[in-house]
Structure 1
């Protein structure tokens, strides 16, 4: 069975690990009461992961545009192949939309994003309580939606591996 390229695998797993880490850190940091040094540190790490995901998403999309992924398994039903394509496109949407919405939410809160504590990203607009209230649920629901599709994607990969035994998961494993 045809495999993904090493670059595609690397980008896939880096993005996956960062998305899961940023998601879990996001859930943790919002539950910390008040403004504490730990909470501020977690917010910075969360933002850095998000910006890194966005940079890797650009690299991944450019790589994908030049490198055709392996074909679907020949014995898979057409509806499964279509569902896989839809989920993949939605995951690409989310790996761009979630970090962008987080960036806009942060700016709306009046806080600059300083990547890795070194590079201040552009401040596109001044923050206001109204903009913050607008972007907060967008960022939240994009995250929750992405979590559902990540779970579906991982579940499908495990189904292919343990039930179908068709080698689909092995194509993305180093």
Structure 2
């Protein structure tokens, strides 16, 4: 009888190992959003140090397009998660570890909404309309207000710093599960398995 990852002969799971994987749509959404978020962070850090130029304006446009895309994909991702529950956490995880995992995921989801929204609000307050992919103008969420725009820029910056820390913790936790705990938490999110 063939065995699958995490299963003993006869279909009995090994202790601490789940035979469940994330669904293909969840895996695709995860990795597309991960690449977009990493690209957004890199472009955001790079473009803020540039002098005003056509290159800087183009990078800001790309950054805004990708940010709106992340916001929309986050809506799809949450909707998918409500319809299709993720695999259970490994049985060997303690109560505090489970709480930390849920809190970490909750923070990531919150930031995937809050950061694009803060950027959109900032653009509106600074008087720069967001035009998604240069085609679809999005409504300004608030009126032009320079002081509020500066405040929202600071909020956007600190939310991104928090995102960097949350992503680093997320990656560290996945690697801990893979290399130290030797469970399938990372494997069940990998494509093509």
TM-score range, shorter chain: over 0.9
Q: Could you list the per-position Cα deviations for residues 88-119 of structure 1 after superposition, in whole angstroms to 9, with x for gaps in the alignment?
A: 01111000000000000111111000000000
| 2:173 is equivalent to residue 159 of structure 1 | no
* Deviation larger for 39-48 or 74-83: 74-83
Partner of residue 44 from structure 2, selected from 26, 29, 38: 26
Match of 1:90 in 2: 107
Distance 1:85 1:152 in 2: 13
Match of 1:5 in 2: 23
Match of 2:10 in 1: none
Contact 2:43 2:59 in 1 (8 A): yes
Distance 2:165 2:64 in 1: 21
Distance 1:46 1:61 in 2: 22
Extract structure 1 runs of 4+ deviating beyond 2 A: none
Structure 2: runs of 5+ lacking an equivalent = 1-18
The alignment covers a number of residue pairs equal to 173
**Matched position secondary structure for 1:3:** coil
Bigger Rg, structure 1 or 2: 2
State the 1:125 CA deviation: 2.5
State the 1:81 CA deviation: 1.1
Report the structure, 1 or 2, having the larger helix content.
Answer: 1
Distance 2:173 2:142 in 1: 41
Distance 1:80 1:17 in 2: 26
Distance 1:133 1:124 in 2: 16
State the 1:163 CA deviation: 1.2
Partner of residue 65 from structure 2, selected from 35, 48, 53: 48
Provide the aligned C-alpha RMSD in A.
0.8
The TM-score, its normalising length taken from structure 2, stands at 0.88
State the 1:75 CA deviation: 1.1
The TM-score, its normalising length taken from structure 1, stands at 0.97
Distance 1:125 1:108 in 2: 6
Distance 1:102 1:133 in 2: 11
State the 1:126 CA deviation: 2.3
